[in-house]
A and B are shown apart, each in its own frame.
Chain A
Amino acid sequence: MQEPIVITGIGLVTPLGKGRELFWSRLLAGDSGISPVSSFDTSAYSVHLGGEVKDFRAREHVKNLEPESLGRASQMAIAAAYEALEDSGVDLGEIPRERSGVIMGTTSGEPQEVERFDDRYVAGDLRSVGREFMDRYPCHVIPAHMAAELGLAGFNLMIPAACAAGSYAVGQACEVLGSGRADVMLAGGADSFSRITYSGFARLGAIAQEKCQPFDRGRRGMIPGEGAAVLVLETRRRARQRGAHVYAEVAGYGLTCDAHHMTAAHPQGDGAARAMEQALDHSGIHAQEVGYISAHGTGTPTNDRLETLAACRVFGARAGGKPISSIKSMLGHTMGAASAIETAVCALVIEEGKIPPTINFEDPDPECDLDCVPNEARDQRVDVAMNNAYAFGGNNASLVLRRPAS
């Protein structure tokens, strides 16, 4: 094997709180981060819940750039990046600045910036649109703001693979590190709460009225959310040299496209199954070795049924009896941040030997016959974890993490 890539730092800004420790304890407690939407008026909608990040103050996190000059996703991403760097113990001052970079994922980038433009457009007030629209809105500015804030001159990229984007970002960061083009990479995902996203899913009837219930027979849909997650990635050799704590090794990943429908998954879960198979092949790991699966698990009737189908194609009936939980039951769907947060969760599951539950589980669905770790976290040693994510555009990603070799 060539140089393995490891995760040495985790930073999180989520509807369950800021910071890895708070997030993890609330996740294991089965807490919910869902609440009535506060960032815009939902009175004209038939649904009102969202997974918003509460009490986030950019001024507490953004040190070098002007906090107010950044969109919310950039602000959250910078907060997560600082936490991840501190957690990793990486001293950026010791690394040539062109040897460290950022790859992020997103669904909508900075949607609140285009929404502000739209408000002005509808109000007939386009004259008041200034340079901030284009300085803040295009999604590539998120990793650009992070790199400008932190002084990183290496590889810099946004991969907006929608709700699977965080996994695409982590995968590409591994390629950059593995080929020796960087010493340290930050990778993750970010999205801010969006009227556009909310309206779209509401129109599709995909948002749950009361709660998100992945794999439950009575599940009624997803709940849109927001957040950011950033991981510090580096080669195992480098991590060992500096005596760093390692959460997990990225064993491999698979990326496929359904090429079927923009918003509906393939009816046999084809692309999803291929992504899992590719990820296992790439990792050199047998299906039996996987000890935990972080589900995409949005809580929509179709996603959870087809995801079950795909998992059973790869792992056998009941997905081989493997625990497969959806933290979206607690966070809602944090869109472009989701698969990055879930990658962090897989690393923490391996590290801590605890599996977060799928909450709000009441009534088993024969079409989702899985061990979804209902309602209660579980103590269980896990050596290999798989993170699955599926996105608009038929973009599928499966990422495999494993316990670092000691």
Chain B
Amino acid sequence: MSYRAAQPESPQTGNPQTGSSQIPDRRVVVTGFGVVSPLGDSPRELHGRLCAGACALAPIELFDVQDLPVTLGAEIPGFSARDYLGEGNLRPLDRTARLAASATERALADAGLSTEDRHRLSVGLILGTVFGSVGTISAFDRRGLEAGPRYVKPLDFANSVINAAAGQTAIWHGLPGVNSTICSGTSSGLQALAYGADLIRGGRADILVAGGAEELCFESFLGYQRTGRIAGSRNAAPPCAVPFGAGRNGFLLGEGAAFLVLEAEESARDRGVAIRAVLAGSSSGFDPSRGHDGDSAAASLKRCISMALHQAGRESSALGAVSCSANGSPTGDLYEAQGLAQALGDAAGTVPITASKGLLGESLGAGGALQAIILLESLRRGQLPGIGGSESPEAGLPLGRLEPTPRDVIAAVGLATSSSFDGHSCAIVFDGEGGTNE
């Protein structure tokens, strides 16, 4: 199979036939953002509140936390899909799908993609998630157990597949292109962006909405507490989910949805829309020790970052900001710091680094896409949020710029990294200087 494929299906964009191996990979640009998060539903609001140090963590109200030791999480207060999606039958969409469809609505509008455009340009959707909705899946099954299998709900069954939110979102918005759900743990959101970029570079798609979505629900809330990874779930210690914090003891769960519109550069130019950034490089990897061997975990992330920088044609010294996945995990944050330091070299001491999960919660499949949006808004505004929380960073971490307050960003190249506790890692380099409108 030829990697750089012909793309005869979309003559509308005026793309050249790229069947020749002489034609270089296409540039992937960002033309829209959509976000629904516990700290706001626009990149501007989210960025502003993070810079102000706002924290979304509060006692859970969405469901009964029963007698679980930890009751904190980052909900989206008062989320109503109606506010984003207007009229229409929302019943078939569970919370994950509603979050996804709402953020997708914002992203499509931001990129200037009308209903007609979506069909004509065969817009696709790449959705990163960990569960889809384990809440829906479990409720469907429990209904069968309690009332008998003849009484399960067909509507819930349709949503019991892990790709349900992607399917529902495509139906809601009329997105006929590639539709893929991507699962790689907490790196799913970044991985969805990397996967989408691959498809565009290789000529498989011209325009993709790519990102991630995850809901808070009782099942995952309980499940992760039982792993001991949740802050405060062991030894009755008070929760401390400050990324890189000296006293950190785990993460706290959050929820949200975040999408970027990724587009082939020539498609964006043909449409005459603003190019906000270039997705210049990406790479993924895996730590076969799954965190049991710190050297292996750090090396896995280091390789990803180095390869993403290489693909972007950038040195680490060019970086103006890093948005990483640290979430308060005692070992995970350490390995991410080590992987970053190994890849960045001298720049590890000078480039400002942020990690937002101490304020936004660990929103699993949405987390990586939220990191990307926070990074790109920071590049645009020249200001990177601090790492919120009162804890000072663990002494001896090999990163120089983990300040609690906002920092100036002086170069428009940014790096987003994710290191997931089940072994997956991903890194993406964005080039804000490729943008044309700011």
Contacts and interface: CB of A to CB of B under 8 A. Distances in A.
Interface of A: 1-5, 44-46, 97-98, 101-102, 106-109, 111, 114-115, 117-119, 121-122, 126, 129-131, 133-135, 137-141, 144, 147-148, 150-162, 168, 172, 174-176, 178-179, 181, 195-204, 249-253, 255-263, 271, 274, 277-278, 281-284, 391-395
Interface string B148-169: 1110111001111111101110
Contact of A118 (B141, B176, B182): B141
Contact of B179 (A5, A97, A175, A257): A257
Given A140-B424, A202-B149, A196 B160 contact: yes
A139 B162 CA distance: 9
A196 B168 CA distance: 20
B289 to A, nearest CB: 8
A129 B171 CA distance: 36
Contacts of A4: 1-2
A122 B146 contact: yes
Interface of B: 1-6, 8-9, 19, 21, 66, 92, 124-125, 130-132, 134, 137-138, 140-142, 144-146, 148-150, 152-154, 157-164, 166-168, 170-171, 173-185, 188, 191, 195, 198-199, 201-202, 204, 219-220, 222-224, 226-228, 283-290, 296, 300, 303, 307, 422-424
B171 A261 contact: yes
A274 B119 CA distance: 13
Contacts of B220: 134
Contacts of B173: 259
Contact of A156 (B159, B161, B184): B184
Contacts of A147: 286, 288, 423
A115 B142 CA distance: 8
A217 to B, nearest CB: 26
A257 B175 contact: yes
Nearest to B186: A140
Given A129-B223, A148-B423, A179-B3, A262 B164 contact: yes
Contacts of B283: 181
B288 A282 contact: no
B116 to A, nearest CB: 14
Contact of B288 (A97, A119, A159, A250): A97
Contacts of A108: 137, 160-162
Given A97-B288, A168-B180, A114 B2 contact: no
A144 B171 contact: no
Contacts, number: 285
A203 B148 CA distance: 11
B422 to A, nearest CB: 5
Nearest to B289: A148
Contact of A282 (B5, B92, B188, B285): B5
B167 A395 contact: yes
A203 B170 contact: no
Q: Which secondary structure dominates where chain B touches chain A?
A: mixed
B171 A394 contact: yes
A196 B137 contact: yes
Nearest to B364: A138
B144 A153 contact: no
Nearest to B300: A153
Given A179-B198, A179-B202, A199-B149, A394 B141 contact: no
Nearest to A399: B1
A109 B162 contact: yes
9 contacts: A98-B300, A161-B179, A161-B180, A174-B3, A196-B137, A204-B154, A252-B2, A256-B178, A395-B166
A67 to B, nearest CB: 17
A203 B284 contact: no
Contacts of B124: 257
A278 B9 contact: yes
B285 A154 contact: yes
